[in-house]
Amino acid sequence: MEPQVGDVITLRRGKISYEGIVIPSPKKDSIIIKLSNGYNIGFRKESVEIINVEKKEKPKIFSEVKFQKRKDIPEISLISTGGTIASRVDYETGGVRWLMKPEEIFFMAPELSDIATFRNISSPFQIASESMTFECYRILAKEAAKELNAGSKGVIITHGTDTLHYTSAALSFMLQNLSKPVCLVGAQRSPDRGSFDGSMNLICASYIAGQSDMGEAVIVMHGEMSDTYCNVLRGTKVRKMHSTRRDTFRPINTSPLAKVFMNGKFEKISDYRLRNDDNEVYADIEMEERTAIIKAYPNFNPEILDYYIDKGYKGLVIEASALGHVPTDTINEKFSWVNSIKRAREQGIIVVFATQCLFGRVDPFVYSNGRIMEEMGVIYAEDMLPETAYLKLSWILGHTNDYFEVKRNMLDNMAGEINYRIKGDKNGL
């Protein structure tokens, strides 16, 4: 009997037997199965013997777990938005899809029942994080504020990791008067994998949301490759720095706020805004949509800048090189940015420079080309990450277009996004 995708089969190669679920193979002469440990293994069909086939058995990867509410542990809320942490295997394609109900997340981490009780579980949308928009940020900000003001000690937001740091930055500005923890959590490995990291991240985030003295928007993710501890990272000073590593999220130009362990042990590392359960948070969700990030690079044609100017954009964040440089004195004048930046400023477009180096800060007063840009009205964003500067500028422009107001607010350290004295991370940068 020829096994089909989704069948549970047992096959033998030599003296070793394997059992798993058939998933699609790119080659007709091969067969691939997903083992119970979550890993895939493939064989040439001619090299194996099919022992048993159970037709179309698609096991339920997770069951729904509903905890009884308890009064002896903190009450928090969960907002599920999709991503790898809230996914399951799609046996039609062999990949993962965002199919999980929020309640199924608890199946991955039953320890949560002894850490916190969940006041509310919601899922306003289920999407991959690369598909996030400002409208998503508005929805999350309103939902988080509602839960915090209704009595939750903190909020956990499960989210895809690709743009997790964009969302953490956006919420850091949108959630005004925030004085309870809002913990953004994701997973680098899917729940069917033996190396799934989401359970530990959820457990650690639950300790922060319910039991810590923090009052900020933070990312809580693995601090190293092994399951030792999670880092608690300020939402405006963090970035995804590796495509697959479980400890991908790193503090930039700063240290983690804290470490948190699976048993609830908490090690404070840096200062942070303290919890105040009496404060009322409000969601200030005005965002200017006509903003963009543009990366400076060799042979960049300023016609790209002209496109945004002609389209009526209100703000541009430039990922400038090193201290904040873009081409000015070029061999071929058409590659100089001077005329396009001047035109942008004349039309009232706010231009912000952040360093594409990530580590370090911009400074317009070291080289002459920096002075030229600064005199035109370019705002130099200190040590802000380009992504953070983009979200901050979009939020500020949602409230004012006045250049001096925008500049004052961009250089005001609203949510810990600026460090005037940079500390290196553990990588020594």
Q: Tell which wins on pLDDT, 132 or 21.
A: 132
Q: Where in the sequence numbering do the catalytic residues fall? A: 84, 161-162, 240
Same domain, 276 and 295: no
Q: CATH number of the domain that 82 lies in? A: 3.40.50.1170
Q: Where are the alpha helices (DSSP H) in 150-242?
A: 164-174, 198-211
- In the chain, the percentage of residues whose pLDDT exceeds 70 is 92
Q: CATH number of the domain that 350 lies in? A: 3.40.50.40
Q: List pLDDT tens digits, range 387-398.
A: 999 999 999 999
173 within some domain: yes
Confidence label for 95 from pLDDT (cuts 50, 70 and 90): low
356 within some domain: yes
Domain boundary among 231, 265, 283: 283
Same domain, 199 and 321: no
Q: What is the mean pLDDT of residues 408-415?
A: 99
∠ Cα 18 22 28 (to 5°): 105
Domain boundary among 245, 266, 283: 283
Same domain, 111 and 259: yes
Confidence label for 107 from pLDDT (cuts 50, 70 and 90): confident
Residue 429: predicted pLDDT: 46
Same domain, 297 and 277: no
Helix then strand then coil, % of the chain, to nearest 5: 25, 25, 50
* Burial letters 225-254, b for 16+ CB under 10 A, else e: eebebbbbbbbbbbbbbeeeebbbbbbbbb
Give the domain extent around 296: 291-410
As for how many domains the chain has, the answer is 3
Same domain, 13 and 117: no
Q: List pLDDT tens digits, range 125-157.
A: 999 999 999 999 999 999 999 999 999 999 999
426 within some domain: no
Residue 401: predicted pLDDT: 98
**Element (DSSP H or E) covering residue 375:** helix 368-376
125 within some domain: yes
> What pTM was estimated for this model as a whole?
0.88
Sheet arrangement for strand 350-355: 291-295, 315-320, 350-355, 379-380
Q: Where are the alpha helices (DSSP H) in 88-157?
A: 105-108, 134-149
Same domain, 32 and 113: no
100 within some domain: yes
Same domain, 41 and 152: no
Q: Is the pLDDT of residue 428 over 50?
A: no
Cα dist from 332 to 300, 302, 320, 344, whole Å: 12, 12, 20, 21
Quote the CA–CA distance of 397 and 289 in Å, as a whole number: 9
179: phi then psi, degrees, rounded to nearest 5: -145, 25
Q: Which residue bears the tokens 């990312």?
A: 219
Quote the CA–CA distance of 65 and 109 in Å, as a whole number: 10
Q: Which residue bears the tokens 């930046």?
A: 341
Residue 105: predicted pLDDT: 73
Q: What average pLDDT is seen over the chain? A: 92
418 within some domain: no
Q: CATH number of the domain that 25 lies in? A: 2.30.30.520
Same domain, 129 and 18: no
Same domain, 268 and 326: no
427 within some domain: no
Same domain, 270 and 325: no
62 within some domain: no
Closest C-alpha among 228, 222, 232, 210 to residue 115: 210
Q: List pLDDT tens digits, range 309-358.
A: 999 999 999 999 999 999 999 999 999 999 999 999 999 999 999 999 99
Same domain, 303 and 361: yes
Domain boundary among 254, 283, 312: 283
Q: List pLDDT tens digits, range 35-85.
A: 888 788 999 999 999 988 887 655 555 556 666 788 999 999 999 998 888
Residue 295: predicted pLDDT: 99
- In the chain, the percentage of residues whose pLDDT exceeds 90 is 78
| Type of residue numbered 411 | L
Q: Tell which wins on pLDDT, 381 or 9.
A: 381
Q: Is the pLDDT of residue 89 over 90?
A: no
Same domain, 141 and 240: yes
Residue-by-residue DSSP string for 382-407? TT--HHHHHHHHHHHHTT---HHHHH
Q: Which two tokens stand for residue 330?
A: 């070029």
| Cβ contact 165:238 at 8 Å | yes
Angle between helices 368-376 and 338-346 (to 10 degrees): 20
Beta bridge partners of 231: 221, 259
Cα dist from 283 to 26, 55, 149, 395, whole Å: 48, 51, 11, 12
